[in-house]
Amino acid sequence: MLYNLFEFLELEYNLPGATLFQFISFRSALAIIISLLISTLFGKKIIRFLRIKQVGENVRELGLKGQNQKKGTPTMGGIIIIISTLIPVLLLAKLNNIYVQLLIFTSLWMGIFGFIDDYIKIFKKDKKGLKGHFKILGQVILGIIVGLILHSHPDVTIRKEKNINSKEKTLVNEKSTLTTIPFIKNNEFDYYDLISWIPRAKEFSWIIFIPIVIFIITAVSNGANLTDGIDGLAAGSSAIMVFTLGIFSWVSGNIIFSNYLNIMYIPDVGEIVIFIASFLGALIGFLWYNAYPAQIFMGDTGSLTIGAIISVIAIMVRKELLLPLLCGIFLIENLSVIIQVAYFKYTKRKSGKGKRFFLMAPLHHHFQIKGMHESKIVSRFWIIGIILSVLTIVTLKIR
């Protein structure tokens, strides 16, 4: 919106300073400032509104210390994150960019499913919320849409060197299902190779690509959802991951730096740095109210949306195979639940009485029961997240 306005003012009236809006760095800086202001200044009004409407958390009795103090704390705080993200994006990003459009759709789509889940918990007094298979359905549909668009849209390409003849080479944009394998030199891998033995496999490469996209979106979205259990944990951990993805998006969309780092150059993907900056500002601003003791919880409106956005960005910049490292906190939380359930069923089948591997799952509750204060748990998880983030960035050079 503002990008188009200042582009017009520059072309028609040669307005001084209008050219600044051509730079992604300038618009990203504005985006993070605007999203921070919206989330901090208007966040308080949204919290007050939610209190008036009695949109309070129905806390499940888990036997955790200080749990009852959280009862009645406003939830659905993901609304703050979504609004604070989308307003700067609509103002500053190129809205004809397919990557930006897809991220806006992802935010709204998963935001709706999360909102329905929170609505059922609060107003229908059903602590289980939206049935699990409906959440999975929403994630699967999102995965199909994202996978189809990234696979078939003409603007989704990568820049590759192509031989014209035996002596000359040129750079061309072409469709591809290439991704990046971390820590390996010449580290490009084509999903098409998994089915290359099938006749006319190139025409049907979507058969392997779309299920992979669905799995990634579902896993990361649910991982973020499980991590959202104590004050500031999900928002802070996600902010670290988003910042890292912002670096990858910027270098992948910059032909000079992508060439220097010998990574895939993805035309037009740099525009999502505006979205990422806005999203990062929204998460940090939300922490103003969500840090211990939380004045608001993000609810599934926020957690499902956050995980979906992180996974879609990683797929866009062809760094989805780095997600187990970058999103290690989400992975550990997911695995702790899987291990707990599997071990309980195994021991029950063997001895007739189920045993627990952890004191409680997800993992952050295990440490709570051991007597660790939740602010200390959050701080230590953030430190681990920063270490994982640094290791992820290091993969740009260590191969």
Q: Give the closest residue to 144 by CA, choosing from 220, 213, 244, 73.
A: 213
Kindly write down the DSSP assignment for every residue of 103-148, as one continuous string. Answer: HHHHHHHHHHHHHHHHHHHHHS--TT-S-HHHHHHHHHHHHHHHHH
Is 161 a residue whose pLDDT tops 70? no
pLDDT tens-digit series, residues 56-114: 666 565 556 656 666 778 888 999 999 999 999 999 999 999 999 999 999 999 999 99
3-state secondary structure of 189: strand
pLDDT tens-digit series, residues 258-297: 888 888 899 999 999 999 999 999 999 999 999 988 889 9
pTM tops 0.75? yes
Residue 9, pLDDT score: 65
3-state secondary structure of 298: coil
Give me the percent of the chain exceeding a pLDDT of 70: 87
Is 19 a residue whose pLDDT tops 90? no
Give me the percent of the chain exceeding a pLDDT of 90: 54
Banded pLDDT at 384 (limits 50, 70, 90)? very high
d(CA 239, CA 276): 10
pLDDT tens-digit series, residues 327-368: 999 999 999 999 999 999 999 888 888 889 998 989 998 998
Residue 361, pLDDT score: 86
Average per-residue pLDDT for the chain: 87
Residue 15, pLDDT score: 67
d(CA 12, CA 73): 52
Residue 6, pLDDT score: 62
Report phi then psi at 340, rounded to 5: -60, -50
Number of Cβ within 10 Å of residue 309's Cβ equals 28
Query: Measured between alpha carbons, how far is residue 161 from residues 101, 107, 164, 171 in Å?
Result: 28, 35, 10, 4
Q: Which of 157-161, 188-192, 313-317 has the highest mean predicted lDDT (pLDDT)?
A: 313-317
Number of Cβ within 10 Å of residue 231's Cβ equals 24
pLDDT tens-digit series, residues 170-206: 667 778 888 888 888 777 888 877 777 677 666 677 7
pLDDT tens-digit series, residues 105-147: 999 999 999 999 988 888 877 777 788 889 999 999 999 999 9
